[in-house]
Structure 1
Amino acid sequence: MPARTITVASVLASSLLAAALSAGCSGSSSSAGSAEPKGEPPLTKAEAEKVLASYTAAVDRAARTFSPKPLRTVETDPQFTMDVAALKFRRAVKQRPTKLHFTNTSFYIPRLTGYPQWFAAGAATVRNKQTVRHALLFTRAKADAPWLLTVAPQVGDTALSKVALGSDGYATPVAPDAKDLAVAPGRLPAAHAALLTEGPRAAGASVLAEGAQTTETYKALKEGEKTLAGRGVTLSSRFAAAPYDVYALRTRDRGALVWYVLKQKEAYSSSRPGRLSVSGDLVGLAPAGSGRTRMDTTVLVQYLAAVPPEGRATVTGLYRKAVHVK
């Protein structure tokens, strides 16, 4: 559910690290990769507005009951798995979500030639008197399938305004293997995962610009590992491209906005029982209170990146959620 606040070092802040310290495709490979319009838009703006309204109503039903059942009708993975984990957290801490209300909506509907079909929507929510902007991406697997929210990273105010629109108001999708960009959209997940795991000198990592969700996150991870080691806790963290499609839209500078997902595996260990505990972002995913010497977590991270025709890609948005604890 898209009303979330994320800090620069969110890869650490909402993971077990906080607990340990306190304890002591575009639509298909055939989608257009050039500026020439191809295919047909899968729906109209009016129909897209109805999709967003139906999604909002279902999220509110889920929030009232702390039940993921309504989400099954309007979401698919990775969004569904992440939002179910968010519901578990809220249920555990007895914190009911506020009513979801989108404002300043905009729609970016590409011309497509195959399935899955998809479109993007920009929308804002207000949380704790702060406005948060989201880049929601909906997909449907076939003609008679429902539209489902697939990813919804938080973004800056101007991220989606860069999307190029034709005279008819429709956008142009970019293929995962597009050759006219600084890096093909399909290569971004592996490059980003390599940077966060091995650092900016990792193979392929040079395609990403320095920033909060790239080099600064890697530095924060390394500093966190050192801090934990001083308290008797060992942390290892590895990122990999998650098994979800990559989606991209052409921007006015002949670049692309790219949605993609990474999976993070964190392993914590300590020789002293009780040093590790379930808290922070992990609450609701496993029983709290019992002493542990080993804990493994799985985290999903959605990203939005701007890829220029030349230069390096800039990560402009994300949504991160721990989804499993062992």
Structure 2
Amino acid sequence: MRAYGRRGMLALAAGLLAGVTACTGDAPRPATTPAAAVTTTPSPAAEEPAVTPAQAAEEFTAFTLTDDSLRGSTWESTFEGRLTMASDITTGGQWQITQAAYVSTGSRPPRRQWGAPTLYVPRFPRSERAPWFSALVTRDGRQTLLTFTKSDHWRLSSAAELLPGQELPEIALDAEGYASVVAADDKSVTISPQFIGPVHASVAETGTAGVTAGLLGAGPLTTDVAEQIAASREQAKNEGFSYDSIFSADNFPVYALRTKDGGALIQYSLSRTTSTTTKTAEDDYIPVPEQARWAISAPVLRRTLKLTETHQYATAVPPLTNPSAASVIAHDGVLTRASGQ
């Protein structure tokens, strides 16, 4: 998150807060068409969307079958072959998470148990180059929000498990059951989708003391993380190390659905890079955490340790007509890379 710079973050926060406080009443009602202006010319047949609910259901089933086959214990493909095939059905942050699942288990990641999905399919025009859809499904006994996107073919891009006590907000659907997409720069919600990653990164680093404090609700994935970073930095200093942990939105895709209350359900990813470096004598070794032993065999390192995690979230963002702190309702994340010397 540091790459944005304090000046840029101040400007971002000021713009967001100004948008929240600018709303002083209900939005104006749209103008109606006078009855005399209505013509009797029949409208042309509606064009079929880029993806229909039936097609989305087929793609979801195809993914789960392929995923199960790759994870199956009887699969005879080589390690590299499995990774190649896994990369062909995943993208974005989900590819990094999937790659770690294969590498950390010797190409034997646990198989998944899937329930029947509830699909949320936006009505994209046929010309849309990157259509996507979401699915709420029970995965391994936990409600999980998935998002699939299409380039040359469909791939899983995001997966986040609903947190305890959280429910998916009601998604706005049209008469035919299609969902609506919230544009990246949409200003009818308290945090535009294009800003959700940087805002979350800032809150996770600075907590209640940062310029974005109050835009995201406090909790274990936001302000608590900032407190943990501050405590770890102080402990490392006392033990003769330097420590820092930085979140970044990188170039991960963002997906946003309109909720029935006028807000947005936004799905996005962040990377977290934690670095520890010795500052004193070379015999002050850095311990390697157990969860990183699949990438670093040594129990301690002499000079530096760098851990990279990939996290995926779903956050319910209120409409400007009812401003309040956005709430992170779903998450999944793992260590995806580790290095040091």
Letter in 2 for 1:115: R
Q: Secondary structure at the match of 1:199?
A: helix
Letter in 1 for 2:337: H
Query: Partners in 1 of 2:334 and 2:48 — Cα distance?
Result: 35
The answer as to whether partners of 1:59 and 1:70 remain within 8 angstroms in 2 is: no
The answer as to whether partners of 1:111 and 1:172 remain within 8 angstroms in 2 is: yes
Give the deviation of 1:82 after TM superposition. 1.6
1:139 aligns with 2:156: no
1:226 aligns with 2:234: yes
Using the size of structure 2 for normalisation, the TM-score is: 0.75
Give the deviation of 1:289 after TM superposition. 4.1
The total of aligned residue pairs comes to 280
Partner of 2:98: 83
Describe the shift of the 1:210–1:279 C-alpha distance in structure 2 as closer, same or farther (beyond 3 A).
closer
The answer as to whether partners of 2:121 and 2:178 remain within 8 angstroms in 1 is: yes
Partner of 1:171: 179
Query: Partners in 2 of 1:201 and 1:267 — Cα distance?
Result: 22
User: Which of 286, 289, 297 lines up with 1:276 in the alignment?
Assistant: 286
Give the deviation of 1:286 after TM superposition. 3.2
Describe the shift of the 1:51–1:280 C-alpha distance in structure 2 as closer, same or farther (beyond 3 A).
farther
Using the size of structure 1 for normalisation, the TM-score is: 0.78
Q: Deviations over 1:210-255 (max 9, x none)?
A: 1221112211222233344444443211112221221100011110
The CA RMSD measured in Å over matched residues stands at 2.5
Give the deviation of 1:262 after TM superposition. 1.3
The answer as to whether partners of 1:274 and 1:292 remain within 8 angstroms in 2 is: yes
The structure number with the bigger radius of gyration is: 2
Query: Partners in 1 of 2:111 and 2:101 — Cα distance?
Result: 15
1:315 aligns with 2:328: yes
Give the deviation of 1:60 after TM superposition. 2.3
Partner of 2:131: 117
Structure 2 spans left out of the alignment, 5+ residues: 1-29, 31-45
Q: Secondary structure at the match of 1:209?
A: coil
The answer as to whether partners of 1:182 and 1:307 remain within 8 angstroms in 2 is: yes
Query: Partners in 1 of 2:192 and 2:318 — Cα distance?
Result: 10
Query: Partners in 2 of 1:250 and 1:39 — Cα distance?
Result: 22
The answer as to whether partners of 1:262 and 1:302 remain within 8 angstroms in 2 is: yes
User: Which protein has greater RCO, CA pairs closer than 8 Å, 6+ apart?
Assistant: 1
Describe the shift of the 1:119–1:299 C-alpha distance in structure 2 as closer, same or farther (beyond 3 A).
same
Q: Deviations over 1:96-142 (max 9, x none)?
A: 4443221142100011242211000111123xxxx31211100012x
Query: Partners in 1 of 2:276 and 2:180 — Cα distance?
Result: 44
Letter in 1 for 2:262: R
Give the deviation of 1:161 after TM superposition. 4.8
User: Which of 273, 293, 306 lines up with 2:316 in the alignment?
Assistant: 306
The answer as to whether partners of 2:166 and 2:329 remain within 8 angstroms in 1 is: no
The answer as to whether partners of 1:41 and 1:170 remain within 8 angstroms in 2 is: no
Q: Deviations over 1:24-49 (max 9, x none)?
A: xxxxxxxxxxxx9x986432223222
Query: Partners in 1 of 2:184 and 2:139 — Cα distance?
Result: 30
Give the deviation of 1:203 after TM superposition. 2.4
The answer as to whether partners of 1:39 and 1:112 remain within 8 angstroms in 2 is: no
The percent of aligned pairs where both chains have the same amino acid is 26
